[in-house]
Amino acid sequence: MLSIIRLLSQRVALGLLSLFAVSVIIFLAVEMLPGDLAEAMLGQSATADTVAAFRAQLGLDQPPLQRFIGWMGGILQGDFGVSLANGREIGELVSTRLGNTLRLAGLAALISVPVAVLLGMLAALYRNSWFDRMLNTTALSTVSFPEFFVAYILILVFSVQLGWLPSIANITPEDSWLTVLERSMLPVITLSLVVIAQMMRMTRAALINLLSSPYIEMARLKGIKKSRIIYYHALPNALAPIITVVALNLAYLVVGVVVVEVVFVYPGLGQLLVDSVAKRDIPVVQACSLIFAVTYIALNTSADVLAIATDPRLMHPRS
Amino acid sequence: MNTKTNNDNKDVLLEIRDLRIAGHCDDEWHEIVKGIDLTLHRGEILGLIGESGAGKSTLGLAAMGYCKDGCKITGGEILFDDKDLARCSEEELRKLRGVRIAYVAQSAAASFNPSHRLIDQHVEAALQHGVSDKAKARAEAIELYRSLNMPDPEHIGERYPHQVSGGQLQRAMTAMAMACRPDIIVFDEPTTALDVTTQIEVLASIRAVVEKFGTAALYISHDLAVVAQMADRIMVLRHGKLVEEAETRKMLAAPEEAYTQSLWAVRLFSTNQKAQPETEVPLVEVRNVSAGYGAKQILEDVSFNVYKGQTVAVIGESGSGKSTTARVISGLLTPSTGSVLYNGEELPGDYRKRPREMLRKVQMIYQIPDTAINPRQTIGDIIGRPMKFYHGHKDAVVRRKVKELLALVELEPDRYIDRRPSELSGGQKQRICIARALAAEPDFIICDEVTSALDQLVAEGILKLLTRIQEKFGVSYLFITHDVATVRAIADQIVVMQQGRVVDNGSREAIFTPPHQEYTDLLLSSEPEMDPDWLDGILGRRAMASAG
């Protein structure tokens, strides 16, 4: 058991280290953007003195290192600072948006992960059949189209022609969950279509890779049914690569929603990020980027941890 | 073992007629099994013997109506239970497999699913085929574990495959094959991957349980002595054809075909033992070496000498520290205490601290030639590399010398120099490895199980080659092996290792002449002999010894 704990703590420590590195990069990247909020807000006609005074008021005149320490210190205490654009607490601003984004991502994950793994298993079971080929072709086509294209096609079919679903997902906190579900449907389907393909293909490949193992041959020689060979003998041993690709796609669901949110006018974190970049609201941009980074690193670290945990050699040591 | 002479047709369980199986390779179909007839009677054990590529495993699997991917049955009949398995549907075959005909694979470690407990895998076939219910199947599993002499039969099934030893795993696999009380079990080299002392126990267990249930078996092996203990009748196969078939005793007493006789003769090869020099400084001296990986101690106080022009064989079972000793000598592993001396001078423990000239003098040849040579390089590059690295020869010189070496290892130089390893057979690849070791012009070569992965005839060729090279260049060998027969053939001095210690050490004559040291005796007596009564004899003697 000791080796497991050591492995896990190593992974977590590595995750934290990456997080710190990412926070530094986010800060530096924003730092390198030309212009700042003071210039943007005051417009081109502002005098240098006004801009300088405004900068001092916003704290932009301090050296970068000091600002970084102040920023990090605040975040560690749960204080993301204040939006420069409208003076609201960033924590508050971000939390509803993050909730919306997580709900969208969660719904998409709930649909896409089981569907992808199931389709992957079926494709492996009926490999090289017409069913497998059709599935692969469809999967490849859906990933090949850009998300906004898929989104507009879905809108055209389901909103414009059939009129089943609303084309705009501008939910508010007052809406009932049924309304929320109805309005989120098209963005959820769009996101699912994008991520299912990769997860399905990886599941299929991981399973097929194992089918030449001696223990699979043994199962066949024991007269075990093909479907059982796939889910009982191959799947448990293919979990590690599948978990990895699922985590990557879940991370994408949170981080990569920007385009989908914009298309459907969904009030999520991605849209907030886009708006804030346009307004040069640097603290909000930093906060959003950091939240995305945390999601990404947390999901990948948990994937590592889970992949380790599926190894029977580690879970059931020799003595 | 009773020899069954009853050839009554009622008793025929499995009959294969003119079976032909083709394999797909390089866009062509090649015939692997070329028209073999085989009859198996109820309760009979039929031994199939031959070198790799003889088609014996393919034939064994075909008895279950199974072909590996890329193979297909192209002709003939496999008659079992009034059905022709060559023409049955996949679903019909599935219903027979595991229930009426079961399989025991060579590598139990690879053939058990690492993710499930042994007993769950054991009862799976019985439950899936609806032969038994869970409680009954589990109870029967425990009974079988007991019959096969597995330790703690009540609970061992709850373990995962990686939690039990190789010998126990092989027994668990035999038990699993027995789960549905099949009519036939196909044993595909079930003890090849085991140590001799483990093998003897597994052989005894298999034979006892097969006899108990009157199960018929196809017993596939490349080791004649093993088959002689197990089989009532033996079929010798070569290149997918039957060479000779006879009852075991008859075949052992008077093999008819020249090929069969050559298989028998392999064990007769032997060098003359060279006397150990009295006064000379040893070429390599291992002095009180202890070493391990991390906190795990492998070697404890290992000492022995290797003199110039001599062959020292290190023999022991897996885990005895043979290969670790080789790693210490070559500098791949730094000993925690003790040292390695070369011509009386102490060597740095880490190879990175040894001068290049020193590295040149000690070369290694490995067990698996496939993984020891770079598949993307040509033979010329592989052998030429040490010449450039150690001697700085120019390309033209290198090419000439590579050709000389190829001729030395009996591979036609112009034919092989520009080829890649994938075009060579296992024995040829090992010859390339030998040539590469010689290219450095070493004084001392460590041979780590160099013949273990090879067929007996091919292995004998390699041993003869190594002997000739020693006579010509006066190199010393450290020959690491688990095979008693190899040691008997070529060793001048023998070091017997057990659990990281040297338990016996002496000249070949001294070690092989009784009385033996206790562990040496166990090791030597576990080596199967051609006598079909050997297993019964040795088991009886050991039972007597432990009783009295």
CA distance B67 to B178: 22
Sign of the Cα pseudo-torsion (B46, B49, B52, B53, in order): negative
Task: Please give the Cα distance from A199 to A68 (Å, whole number).
Answer: 38
CB atoms within 10 A of CB B84: 14
For the record, the structure tokens of B332 come out as: 């791949």
Residue B175 has pLDDT above 50, yes or no: yes
Contact A222 B114 (CB under 8 A): no
Nearest to A214 among B110, B125, B159 (CB): B110
The Cα B501–Cα B298 span in angstroms is 9
DSSP element (H, E) containing A226: helix A226-228
- Nearest chain A residue to B117 by CA distance is A312
Strands B476-481 and B311-315: parallel
Q: What gap in Å lies between CA A39 and CA A33, rounded to an integer?
A: 12
Separation between Cα atoms, residue A164 and residue A176, nearest integer Å: 18
Residue A214: which of B64, B95, B107 has the nearest Cβ? B107
Cis preceding-peptide flag for B515 (omega within 30 of 0): yes
Q: Which helix (H) or strand (E) holds B339?
A: strand B337-342
Give the pLDDT score at B231: 93
Does residue B7 have a pLDDT over 80? no
Q: Higher confidence at residue A96 or residue B143?
A: B143
Residue pair A2/A314 in contact by the 8 Å Cβ criterion: no
B20 forms beta bridges with B34, B75
Name the strand (E) or helix (H) holding B33: strand B28-41
Please report the pLDDT score of residue B10 as a whole number. 59
Query: What distance in Å separates residue A114's CA from the closest CA in chain B?
Result: 21
For chains A and B, what is the number of CB pairs under 8 angstroms?
77
Q: What is the pLDDT of residue B266?
A: 65
Handedness of CA B403, B404, B409, B411 (dihedral sign): positive
Span A258-276, mean pLDDT? 84
- A residues 199-218 lying closer than 8 A (beta carbon) to B: 212-215, 217-218
Residue B469: band (very low, low, confident or very high) from pLDDT cuts 50, 70, 90: very high
- pLDDT of A175 > 90? The answer is no
Residue B4: the pLDDT is: 44
pLDDT digits (tens, 9 = 90+) for B83-119: 899 999 999 999 999 999 999 998 888 899 999 999 9
Could you tell me which chain A residue has the CA closest to the CA of B111? A215
**Per-residue pLDDT tens over the stretch B240-287:** 899 999 999 998 888 888 888 887 776 677 788 787 777 788 999 999
How far A313 CA sits from the closest chain B CA (Å)?
7
User: What is the per-residue pLDDT for B124?
Assistant: 94
Going by pLDDT thresholds of 50, 70 and 90, the confidence category of residue B81 is confident
Reading the block at residue B460, the tokens are 């004998």
Q: What DSSP character marks residue A159?
A: I
Query: Is residue A58 a contact partner of residue A37, using CB atoms and an 8 Å limit?
Result: yes
Q: Would the CB atoms of A224 and B124 count as touching at under 8 Å?
A: yes
Best of B115, B128, B173 to mutate (most A CBs within 10 Å, chain A): B115
Q: Which residue has the higher pLDDT, A162 or A134?
A: A134
Closest among A197, A208, A195, A206 to A126, alpha carbons compared = A208
Cα B114 to Cα B244: distance, rounded to the nearest angstrom = 40
Confidence of residue B482 (pLDDT cuts 50, 70, 90): confident
Query: What ipTM was estimated for this complex?
Result: 0.81
Contacts of A220 in chain B (CB under 8 A): 66, 97
Q: Report in angstroms the alpha-carbon separations of A40 from A99, A290, B101, B417, B456.
A: 30, 23, 81, 72, 84
In this predicted structure, the answer to whether residue B5 has a pLDDT above a threshold of 50 is: no
Residue from the list B102, B105, B113 with its beta carbon closest to the beta carbon of A233: B113
In chain A, helix, strand, coil percent, each to 5? 80, 0, 20
Tell me the chain A residues in contact with residue B162 when contact means C-beta distances shorter than 8 Å.
Answer: 312-313, 316, 318
**CB-count exposure of residue A12 (10 Å: 0-12, 13-18, 19+):** middle
pLDDT tens, A219-244? Answer: 999 999 999 999 999 999 998 889 98
pLDDT tens for each residue of A40-67: 667 667 777 887 887 777 677 778 788 8
SS (H, E, C) B217-228: EEEEECCHHHHH
pLDDT band per the 50, 70, 90 thresholds, residue A35: low
The pTM assigned to this predicted structure is: 0.82
Instruction: State mean pLDDT over A260-283.
Output: 83
- Determine whether the interchain pair B102/A222 forms a contact, defined as Cβ–Cβ distance below 8 Å: yes
Give the pLDDT of residue A73: 84
Encoded tokens for A279 = 């307004």
| Least-confidence region, from A275-279, B219-223, B286-290 | A275-279
- Residue among B49, B45, B6 nearest B209 (CA): B45
For residue B69, report the phi and psi dihedrals to the nearest 5 degrees: -55, 135
* Of the listed ranges B197-201, B313-317, B328-332, the one predicted with least confidence: B197-201
| Straight-line distance from the first to the last Cα atom of chain A, in angstroms, rounded to the nearest whole number | 10
Query: Going by C-beta distance under 8 Å and a sequence separation of 6 or more, which residues neighbour residue B370?
Result: B421, B426, B429
Which pLDDT band holds residue B38 (cuts at 50, 70, 90)? very high
| Ranges A173-177, A287-291, B327-331, B512-516: which has the least confidence | A173-177
